[in-house]
Structure 1
Amino acid sequence: MSGEAVLTVNTGSSSIKLAAYQVEAGKLGEQLLKAHLSGLPNSPRFSAGIAGQNIDDVPDSVAAAGPSKSDMVAALAQWARKQLGKTSLLGVGHRVVHGGQDFTGPVRTSDHVIAQLRKLSPLAPSHQPDNLAGIEGISSLWPDIPQSLSFDTAFHRTQPRLAQLYAIPRELSESGVLRFGFHGLSYAHIADELETALSPPERRRVIVAHLGSGASLCAMQDGRSVATSMGLTALDGVPMATRSGSVDPGLLLHLLQDKGMRTEDVANMLYKRSGLLGLSGLSADVRELLASDAPEAREALEVYAYRVRREIASLAGALKGLETLVFTGGVGENSWQVREMICAELGWLGVQLDDTANRQGKRSVHDTGAKVRTLVIPADEESVIARETLSVLR
């Protein structure tokens, strides 16, 4: 390979995703490679695609890397750089989950920026420290290469003030205790896709359901976020794989004051032992729950679908109507059963699936007579990060 490229890094709690994109005449070109190291730290699994070839064996250099996320990111990035051959690497872009009030778009890294982001770690404890570890890994490997940061919260900063406020004392809101929302990079990609695929009336009022290990929904008006299910943290909203989603604040007080639970135990329960895993007592994986005959598995999926339906109805209220519904994320893209469970009770809103198209995983899965267009669009946060990296480098 030759020419110029940018590298993207998405460092999570149990996985690291890398991708490289060609840069031609200052514009983003085709994806040159992608790599995914999952099952960390105990059961690493590796998959990569380079020039149409698939690789499944963990590279020796990555397997031999130290246990820290920064070491693993450095080793994986070095492997990716080797695959790019003579290609000149212009910069590296990172996904950062929480940007708070200050970061409304991509920025270049600096000591000051990193210090601000560390202060936000308590609001995204399952993500932010790992995101920052990825930045450290690249800095240790290539100290002089430009690095850009893309924020999951930035897309939602267009929301009206009423959508951001909690009904708490005003001084807390003024200090930054607000509804921020997440999965913004995924929603930005969907907004870009819809801009070219649909007419302006068809994308005037859109709800996007990003359903994966983490799950949220976003109401978009003309491509801009106006409301979303997550709030100050990525714990809010609908149930997820292991996260609870919204619960009664009084429940937390009850657990702390009456049940004598420690704060860290409550946090562990809400982030790691709730959601589909907590509801079923069996698994956090939708595929395993769908394959199970246990009534607890079915009930967990029914609660999940019910809560997503309620959120769709709520966001339709924020939009004052609905033209298009989009499913994305690992579950949203790949589970026709979950899409069917969610949409089966939304006929009153104009949502009606074509059973055959839905089961075949077509892009358009709505019935020809449906009032609401329903689409399935694969998530692609990496291309958004790459474009934002180029904008920062300019």
Structure 2
Amino acid sequence: MAASSNTFLLTINCGSSSLKFSLYHAGSLQQELSGSVDAIGTASGKLVISKQEKPLPGQSGGFKNLDAAVKAVIRWIKHSQYNNNLLAIGHRLVQGGPNHRAPQLITDDLLKTLHQYVYLAPNHLPDEIKNIKAFQKAFAQLPQVACFDTAFHADMPDEAKYYPLPNKYREQGLLHYGFHGLSYEYIIQKLAADGINVNKQNIIIAHLGNGASMAAVKNGISVETTMGLSPIGGLVMGTRSGDLDPGVVLFLLKQGRLTAMQLDTLLSKQSGLKAIAGKSDMQELLNMAANDAKAGAAITTFCYQARKFIGSLAAAMGGLDLLVFTGGIGEHSAVVREMICRNLDFLGIRINEKLNNQHKENIGSSTSNVKVMVLKTNEEAIIAQHTQTIILK
């Protein structure tokens, strides 16, 4: 299938409460436009579209669920000038099981396999599969590509990849997958393009958002990451618990008499910052902190855990050369970055307060032995890149 300058790749990035999409020129992979439906399930939800940072007509009025958001995006594309010039569609998928990591063409067989592994990502895969089917129905003539968030971590060493449990569970797909891989891949590509030799560096990338994780990248390979079997693990997050003693889970099952579904809901949607302070949005918590002790406690817990994981990931690599902050919180919250780095002098991490407050790309102080950076991530660019590679094979 040949690419030309007047054909486009559509990327779809489905989140728990948002849907992002972009159009990229086939061949050059230059972005044509981007759009999103945010705050799905609330009255404030709206479809926002921009081209070269200039807003285009969208839609307000709220979207009651993801299905409504998907229909709105499909309707917009169908009525746009791009409808007859689409070459392929690329989708971000959180999980493909142990045997599906690399990007691949979406087939009926792949969808059957994804259904079999819904139990590995029950809060993500069902919506993502439904999303794919909606776009297949609307654009039946187009090839569609799955880009898995676990791919970046596929080469983790065995000591990081496998849990100390009987082998029969490993055969059922129970292993340390890691997530946010498309984001990490973009950051590594960006660093390499900026002249940093990522193949000779110990790098920690902190993707901090409502969902948060970190990855230790040694000589270009992910060797450890905070999320594990599911996106619930690792750091405390907006509504997710992060890592817990297994005894806590047993306590909740026995003493709390929770069903497996109730436990999943508790750990995924009712825990984390929301459980501590009643709010899950970091910026909202920062605005409340001066007069709300619970908001302050939530922020302190988040930064404490981030600092703890930076220390453990640096130990896993045997040192640290570069720390990168990305994701919504990582990119935009100078306060959180400062609180995380405040007690990391022992690792050689020191930030320049002025540069940090100005959200500069390089925020390390002149005395820092570790380079500290703030970079904007772009998962959609990686989806477009992989989609083009697959369809042009």
In structure 1, distance between residues paired with 2:79 and 2:30: 18
**Corresponding residue for residue 324 of structure 1:** 322
* Residues 359 and 106 (structure 1), Cα distance of their counterparts in 2 relative to 1, 3 Å cut: same
Give the drift of 1:202. Answer: 8.6
Q: Which residue of structure 1 aligns with residue 373 of structure 2?
A: 375
C-alpha contact (below 8 Å) 1:74/1:141 kept by paired residues: no
Alpha-carbon distance in structure 2 between the residues aligned to 1:199 and 1:38: 34
- 1:216-227 to 2 correspondence within 5 Å? 216-227=213-224
1:39 aligns with: 39
Is residue 51 of structure 2 the alignment partner of residue 54 of structure 1? no
How many corresponding residue pairs? 386
Task: Give the Cα separation in 2 of the matches to 1:79 and 1:201.
Answer: 40
Aligned to 1:351: 349
Structure 2, gaps ≥5 residues long: none
Question: Which of 19, 22, 26 is matched with 2:25 structurally?
Answer: 22
Match for residue 241 of structure 1 among 238, 243, 249: 238
Query: Is the 8 Å Cα contact of residues 72 and 137 (structure 1) preserved in structure 2?
Result: no
Q: Does 1:175 align with 2:176?
A: no
CA spacing shift, 1:87–1:261, aligned 2, 3 Å:
closer
RMSD (CA atoms): 2.0
* 8 Å CA contact retained: 2:203, 2:321: yes
State the distance in 1 between where 2:31 and 2:301 align. Answer: 38
Q: In the alignment, residue 334 of structure 2 is paired with which amino acid?
A: W
1:310 is matched with: 308
Return the offset for 1:196: 1.6
- For residue 265 of structure 1, report the CA deviation from its aligned partner: 1.9
Name the counterpart of 2:283.
Answer: 287
Unpaired segments ≥5 residues, structure 1? none
2:296 aligns with: 298
Alignment of structure 1 residues 82-231 onto 2, 5 Å: 82-85=79-82, 88-200=85-197, 204-231=201-228
Give identity over the alignment, percent. Answer: 35
CA deviation profile, 1:233-268 (whole Å, cap 9, x unmatched): 111101000000001111111111123222222211
Q: Deviations over 1:194-245 (max 9, x none)?
A: 1122432795100000001100000001222111001111111010000000
Residues 268 and 42 of structure 1: CA distance in aligned 2, closer, same or farther (over 3 Å)? same
Q: Which whole-Å CA distance do the structure 2 matches of 1:390 and 1:100 have between them?
A: 23
**Shift of the alpha carbon at 1:170?**
2.3
> What's the offset of the Cα at 1:52?
3.9
Which deviates more, 78-87 or 228-237?
Answer: 78-87
Alpha-carbon distance change, 259 to 70 in structure 1, aligned in 2, over 3 angstroms: closer
Please state if 1:264 is matched with 2:261. Answer: yes
Question: For residues 147 and 70 of structure 1, do their structure 2 counterparts lie closer, same or farther at Cα, with a shift above 3 Å needed?
Answer: farther
Are the counterparts in 1 of residues 224 and 316 from structure 2 also a CA contact under 8 Å?
A: yes
- Secondary structure, aligned partner of 1:83: coil
**CA deviation after TM superposition for structure 1 residue 87, in Å:** 6.3
Q: Would the aligned equivalents of 1:4 and 1:22 in 2 still touch at CA under 8 Å?
A: yes
**Can you list the C-alpha shifts for 1:59-99, whole angstroms capped at 9, x where unaligned?**
79xx7x9x664563243134135434476210000000012
Give the superposition deviation at 1:334: 0.4
Q: Secondary structure at the match of 1:321?
A: coil
Q: What is the TM-score normalised by the length of structure 1? A: 0.93
TM-score (norm: length of structure 2)? 0.93
